[in-house]
């Protein structure tokens, strides 16, 4: 039996046209696993379309979504007004525009829940911190090679997850090894 490929796909940031071109080039089969490294939403012109495309890919191949800072900010925005305003400053306004939000003085968490389809929120909530395959651990960022998995401070951006604060070292290598597994992760500079 032929084994499928494991393909990591970086930040989509609301750009489904670029994602569609990449998927055409990859041409995934039912045996392939596409690991999406988070940052599905924000900044680009069509966060909604990007999420819908990733969700639909699950009918064609195995899709593993990872949670990152932009999704964390959206989920935090569902919890409180301060968190919602914070997210809006970092691409949330662009994401909401793809859901037909046209701005307004008093956008509330209840408005956010009404605007984004439940399927999209459930997909984001179901995203993982990391994906482990034979010989590899795939994360978006902030992997500490000398720290056991159960002690990792998962996530890929500023500490916006209220339940898991974390700090990042000043510099990360592009890869690290722990107990015979290669860790692949992507970082970004602030």
Residue 1's pLDDT is: 58
Residue 190 falls inside a structural domain = no
Residue 136's pLDDT is: 84
The whole-number average pLDDT for the span 50-57 is 98
Query: What's 171's domain CATH number?
Result: 3.60.21.10
Q: Evaluate if residue 166 carries a pLDDT over 70.
A: no
Q: Evaluate if residue 4 carries a pLDDT over 80.
A: yes
Checking phi first, is residue 43 left (phi over 0); if not, alpha (psi -120 to 50) or beta? Answer: left
Q: Evaluate if residue 188 carries a pLDDT over 60.
A: no
Residue 1 falls inside a structural domain = no
Residue 149's pLDDT is: 77
pLDDT tens sequence across 99-119: 999 877 688 999 999 999 999
64 phi/psi in degrees, rounded to 5: -120, 105
Residues 57, 23: contact at Cβ < 8 Å?
yes
145, with CB counted inside 10 A (0-12, 13-18, 19+), is middle
Provide the domain count of the chain.
1
Q: Evaluate if residue 163 carries a pLDDT over 70.
A: no
Higher local confidence (pLDDT), 181 or 50? 50
Residue 84 falls inside a structural domain = yes
Q: Give the distance from CA 58 to its chain's centroid.
A: 16
């Amino acid at each position: 039996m032929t084994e499928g490929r494991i393909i990591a796909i970086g930040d989509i940031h609301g750009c489904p046209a670029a994602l569609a071109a990449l998927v055409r080039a990859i041409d995934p089969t039912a045996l392939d696993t596409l690991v999406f490294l988070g940052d599905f939403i924000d900044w680009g012109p069509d966060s909604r379309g990007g999420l819908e495309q990733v969700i639909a890919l699950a009918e064609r191949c195995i899709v593993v979504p990872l949670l990152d800072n932009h999704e964390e900010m959206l989920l935090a925005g569902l919890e409180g007004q301060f968190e919602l305003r914070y997210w809006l400053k970092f691409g949330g306004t662009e994401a909401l525009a793809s859901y037909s939000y046209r701005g307004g003085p008093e956008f509330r968490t209840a408005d956010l829940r009404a605007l984004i389809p439940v399927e999209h929120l459930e997909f984001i909530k179901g995203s993982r911190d990391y994906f482990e395959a034979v010989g590899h651990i795939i994360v978006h960022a902030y992997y500490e090679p000398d720290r056991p998995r159960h002690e990792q401070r998962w996530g890929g951006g500023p500490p916006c997850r209220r339940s898991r604060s974390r700090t990042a070292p000043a510099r990360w290598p592009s890869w690290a090894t722990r107990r015979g597994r290669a860790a692949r992760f992507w970082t970004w500079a602030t």
